[in-house]
């Protein structure tokens, strides 16, 4: 990416946060002239000021360095989300039943969360393999009861209920008592 591209991203992010150049310079501990030069593409920034600037803007360093120009929000209308990427499961094998994941953030660069609209079909399995991974998950029940096995506990969510948990604890999400369900989930996995 060119220095002008990095500067443009910094300017765009700063303006989106309603920060003046003076406020950003103060937040990242640099002088205004240097920041103005970086934003204009006149100064080739080294890594150290870019790290400070990215932190002051609340974005990861890669957001400033990658080639994706889409820094704004990604809007998915209800009429469109069923046309987004569909994954049958996030695991290679699951006895939780049929899980169809519709990605809701396609096109959002440098995202830290993965939101999904999920349709859950029941399973006949009586034994359930739990999964564990780094990160966090948030689920919001839309239709039908959803059962979450989390460690040694089992939680049942009815429409309108939500749960937020650490994914490192062995867990599984499945239909409760053979009823199909739909829910929204947001998964965060650290880099």
pLDDT in tens, 100-132: 777 777 767 667 788 888 888 887 776 778 888
**Does residue 36 carry a pLDDT above 90?**
yes
Q: Is the pTM higher than 0.75?
A: no
Q: 3-class DSSP state for residue 36?
A: helix
**Does residue 138 carry a pLDDT above 80?**
yes
Q: 3-class DSSP state for residue 155?
A: strand
Specify whether the CB–CB gap between 97 and 122 falls below 8 A.
yes
Distance between CA 19 and CA 12 in Å, rounded?
A: 10
- Please give the structure tokens belonging to residue 71: 């820094």
């Amino acid at each position: 990416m060119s220095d002008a591209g990095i500067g443009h991203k910094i300017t765009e992010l700063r303006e989106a946060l309603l920060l003046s150049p003076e406020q950003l310079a103060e937040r990242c501990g640099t002088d205004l002239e240097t920041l103005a030069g970086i934003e204009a593409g006149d100064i080739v920034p080294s890594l150290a000021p870019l790290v400070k600037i990215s932190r002051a803007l609340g974005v990861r360093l890669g957001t400033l360095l990658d080639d994706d120009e889409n820094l704004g929000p990604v809007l998915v209308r209800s009429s469109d989300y069923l046309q987004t990427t569909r994954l049958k499961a996030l695991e290679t094998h699951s006895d939780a039943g049929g899980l169809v994941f519709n990605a809701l953030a396609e096109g959002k660069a440098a995202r830290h969360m993965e939101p999904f609209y999920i349709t859950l079909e029941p399973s006949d399995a009586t034994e359930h393999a739990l999964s564990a991974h780094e990160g966090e998950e948030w689920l919001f029940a839309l239709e039908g009861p959803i059962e979450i096995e989390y460690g040694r506990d089992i939680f049942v969510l009815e429409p309108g209920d939500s749960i937020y948990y650490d994914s490192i604890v062995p867990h599984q999400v499945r239909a409760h008592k053979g009823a199909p369900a739909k829910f929204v989930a947001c998964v965060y996995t650290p880099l």
